Structure 1
Amino acid sequence: MKNRRIFIYIFLFSLTSINYIDRVALSVAAQPIAHEFGISPIQMGFLLSSFIWTYFASLIVWGLALDRWGTRYVNAAGMAIFSIATVATGFAWSYMSILVTRLVMGAGEASSYPAGGKVIREWMPARERGIAAATLNSGSYAGPAIGALLVAWAVQLFGWRTGFVIVGSSGAIWLFCWLKWFRKPEHASFIDDQERALILRERNGGLPDTPSGPTLSIPDLLKSTSVWGLLITQGFGSYAQFLFLTWLPSYLQTERHLDIVRSGYFTALPYALSVLLALAIGKLSDRLLTGDACSKGGRRNMVAASMLLTSVVLATPFVDDMWVMVAVFTLSLTGAQAALAMNIALIGDLLPSSAEVGRGTGLLITGGASFAMIAPIATGYVVALTHSYNNAFYIAGALALAGALVSLFMTRTPIRRHDSVAAVGEVSLGA
């Protein structure tokens, strides 16, 4: 039997890669933009985080739209919106005009993770969910690696405006391929009948992929202890992720005194290495878990271990050698990437059917966005007040340690209609 699901993996990886290439463009071009428009570190912190405001507000809306209308057209609409907004940033004439394009970009980008989570639940056998989620989330690290180099090169040769036009235009190719070939597995023409039968049989662990009663609403989901554990863990991991995403190039330029091209290289390298390591963790997660352990939240152990790895960022202020610093950033980024990916797989494990995955993943990423929204602003204030990045790294590391504990103790039970938020000590100690 041919494994044509590889095309879905390619779609998932490239979806988030393009999403994050567009995000990192402003981080790499921050210094020339700040110089042109006279932007302070605090103002830049708000500008770097601005797309997260509309991203946060739009996640659940996109999730509900996906559950109602499906991934093909809803995901395409999101890609079109954020790609056009990124191109428009290259034509900005003021601080406020950049702010507006970033807000529009954030609203469009909010579609990607809910859509990716729903595609994974619809297309992947349960035993492949970890590596599929890792592939989806790996794009969020490959994107900054590619974007850091591409935008740095474009800024150096042509100016920052050209960088935004180049990266924003890449979405058009993806959009054409998605609309031409993507369908649900029931109707996809590029898989054979044997593979289709495998997907439909095993995507819900051998159980029917239809809700036994009414689908779970957002209020139903918010009554679950496991959902709250997932949201908090996603938030704490996202804080570290967005500290790196929004401020790493500036840190390398100001604290390590690298030029734009070298800072682009030393930003790209940890991201690129972390993609490979996080994919290995995703594969390991699938190999270690049985179907029964998945349904009982066994993947949380991998989430917690990955959050502990994220906390390596605490060592950054004590590192002088550039290559040791690359190692620290690589390990921390790997931990954050793996934790967030396994969390996406974990909510898929714990939900009763794919009918709730769009809204469930939208809610999950909302938890992440709530802290992602804070990270760039808090870092801007920390840098402005202390003239150092050290405390910013300490905050990210402490949250990562807390996230490991939350994942271990709050994501132990399947998500059901009659779940209620209980004291952590009362949660079942099953697998």
Structure 2
Amino acid sequence: MNDGAPVAVTSTPVARVGLYRWRICAMLLAATTINYIDRQVLGVLAPFLQTEIGWNEIEYGYIVTAFQAAYAIGLLCSGAIIDRLGTRIGYAIAISVWSLAAMSHSLATTVVGFAAARFMLGLGEAGNFPAAIKTVAEWFPRNERAFATGIFNSGSNIGAIVAPLMVPIVATAFGWQAAFLVTGALSALWLVAWLWIYHAPEDQPKLSSAELAYIRSDPPEPSVRVPWSRILRHRQAWAFVAAKFITDPVWWFFLFWLPKFLHAEYGLTLLGLGLPLIVIFVMADVGSILGGWIAGRFIKLGWSVNRARKTAMAICACMVVPIVFAAKAENLWVAVVLIGLATAGHQGWSANVFTLTSDMFPRRAVASVVGIGGFAGAVGGMMIATFTGFLLETTGSYVPVFLVAGSAYLVALVVVHLLAPHLAPAQLDEAKHV
């Protein structure tokens, strides 16, 4: 074992082996984009549905918590299901559930109705990241995984850009129910394309033998599925779990409360929310791609995986710190830039954190590890949703939440380093004999 050593890369020029794997990455990008459009519709409409439906801040917090609770349950189960059924069928099941759930929001008229729709949406959407990360592990050699993850993960920002651009127009023209129906239909269209296009690399006739060899250029791994009990014996798993638990709640806050923050602090209308949110999530999109690219660049310069990954994570963590000043910014665009810098930092961080799983675990365990970590992140999201709802209902102040956001990533980086100081691969097979 060569802990933290640079990954050996085939000497064959990448341009000559084919590019079919990037088509698969494009499919993952599209799925993640649709995933975030569907979940972001409620956040964009929240300031105005709050008036129409009549919920208060605490009740809105409960609606968000319902999504988080289902997302947590779904993540805990979906990773193992996808590892068992494979990415093609597992992904198809997940997107079928979330497509129907997204459209069911159009039938809700009460807090309970919205909470029920959000719960089902959370169950379905939980399958996206475990399936996507497993697909990347199957289709990309290790030295390209962070970049591929950064690309598909940027779909979360594209979705968050498209939602405030599209949803206000659709809702203003055809009613808020139409916004949920239109966005939910997009996932149904993706499902058809996925079942038509996707096959495992070894079963894909359009994949050249040279590209398949390049994809499989890392040392071979056993294919036996690994149970959670064996995964959780390793500090590497807890490093990923801690990173998700500490930092995911910040991203959930961005998704579900930024429109309300901008409406409450700067008086933005439904149509007026579009441009500030687009700027914020365009910055996040750039951060996602650059965060994955910079780690890969460091590796190609000869850095160890450990040094490259943690340096990239440290840069991203520092980008989030200035958000502590956003809650009191007098100018809208000062707040937008500070928040955008933080969202960029989060997404660059996220691209590298997701890649930690394939750095430290074999492909057969990746989806399960991602699911367990995602469960922890969703539990953290439940806590921040309930906390934020009560905080805003009683004080009306966003300052404490922004203070937590600004410090969370540096704390998480310290915890990751303490639990996995070298990003050493977990010896899962040896664990059977412990």
**TM-score (ref. length: structure 1):** 0.91
| Cα distance between partner residues in 2 of 1:297 and 1:356 | 23
Please name the residue that 1:191 is paired with.
Answer: 207
Could you list the per-position Cα deviations for residues 320-340 of structure 1 after superposition, in whole angstroms to 9, with x for gaps in the alignment? Answer: 222222211111001111111
Query: How big is the shift at 1:294?
Result: 6.0
Could you list the per-position Cα deviations for residues 181-221 of structure 1 after superposition, in whole angstroms to 9, with x for gaps in the alignment? Answer: 101111112322211121122xxxx211326xx65321222
Are residues 169 and 64 of structure 1, via their aligned partners in 2, closer, same or farther at CA, if it must alter by over 3 Å? same
Task: Give the aligned residue type for 1:63.
Answer: G
| Cα distance between partner residues in 1 of 2:341 and 2:374 | 23
| Cα distance between partner residues in 1 of 2:358 and 2:133 | 8
- What is the aligned counterpart of 1:118 among 134, 140, 159? 134
| Cα distance between partner residues in 2 of 1:272 and 1:49 | 27
C-alpha contact 1:308 1:404 (8 A) present in aligned 2: no
Could you list the per-position Cα deviations for residues 211-261 of structure 1 after superposition, in whole angstroms to 9, with x for gaps in the alignment? Answer: 6xx653212221222221211111222111111100000111111111111
C-alpha contact 1:155 1:161 (8 A) present in aligned 2: yes
C-alpha contact 1:301 1:408 (8 A) present in aligned 2: no
- What is the aligned counterpart of 1:415 among 380, 403, 426? 426
Please name the residue that 2:244 is paired with.
Answer: 234
| Cα distance between partner residues in 1 of 2:61 and 2:112 | 14
Please name the residue that 2:10 is paired with.
Answer: none
| Cα distance between partner residues in 2 of 1:215 and 1:178 | 24
| Cα distance between partner residues in 1 of 2:164 and 2:268 | 14
Please name the residue that 1:72 is paired with.
Answer: 88
Please name the residue that 1:401 is paired with.
Answer: 410
| Cα distance between partner residues in 2 of 1:249 and 1:410 | 36
Residue identity over aligned pairs, in percent, reads: 26
Query: How big is the shift at 1:179?
Result: 0.3
Please name the residue that 2:389 is paired with.
Answer: 380
| Cα distance between partner residues in 2 of 1:373 and 1:297 | 33
C-alpha contact 2:291 2:349 (8 A) present in aligned 1: no
1:91-240 alignment runs, 5 A limit: 91-201=107-217, 206-210=218-222, 215-240=225-250
Which sections of structure 1, spanning at least 5 residues, go unmatched? 420-431
| Cα distance between partner residues in 2 of 1:65 and 1:111 | 9
Please name the residue that 1:279 is paired with.
Answer: 289
Query: How big is the shift at 1:301?
Result: 3.0
1:259-274 alignment runs, 5 A limit: 259-274=269-284
Please name the residue that 1:354 is paired with.
Answer: 363
1:301-312 alignment runs, 5 A limit: 301-312=311-322
C-alpha contact 2:291 2:347 (8 A) present in aligned 1: no
Query: How big is the shift at 1:5?
Result: 1.6
C-alpha contact 1:282 1:342 (8 A) present in aligned 2: yes
Are residues 183 and 106 of structure 1, via their aligned partners in 2, closer, same or farther at CA, if it must alter by over 3 Å? same
Q: Verify: 1:371 aligned to 2:387, yes or no.
A: no
Q: Secondary structure at the match of 1:259?
A: coil
C-alpha contact 1:296 1:414 (8 A) present in aligned 2: no
C-alpha contact 2:313 2:348 (8 A) present in aligned 1: yes
C-alpha contact 1:67 1:358 (8 A) present in aligned 2: yes
Query: How big is the shift at 1:8?
Result: 1.2
- What is the aligned counterpart of 1:252 among 262, 281, 291? 262
| Cα distance between partner residues in 2 of 1:19 and 1:272 | 17
Please name the residue that 1:89 is paired with.
Answer: 105
Query: How big is the shift at 1:298?
Result: 4.8
Q: Secondary structure at the match of 2:392?
A: helix
Query: How big is the shift at 1:123?
Result: 0.3
C-alpha contact 2:146 2:293 (8 A) present in aligned 1: yes
C-alpha contact 2:288 2:347 (8 A) present in aligned 1: yes
Please name the residue that 2:347 is paired with.
Answer: 337
Query: How big is the shift at 1:310?
Result: 2.1
Q: Secondary structure at the match of 2:201?
A: coil
Could you list the per-position Cα deviations for residues 140-187 of structure 1 after superposition, in whole angstroms to 9, with x for gaps in the alignment? Answer: 111111112111222222221111111111112211110001011111
Please name the residue that 2:399 is paired with.
Answer: 390
C-alpha contact 1:311 1:398 (8 A) present in aligned 2: yes
Please name the residue that 1:429 is paired with.
Answer: none
Which sections of structure 2, spanning at least 5 residues, go unmatched? 1-15
Aligned length: 413
For the aligned residue pairs, the C-alpha RMSD in angstroms reads 2.0
Task: Give the aligned residue type for 1:345.
Answer: T
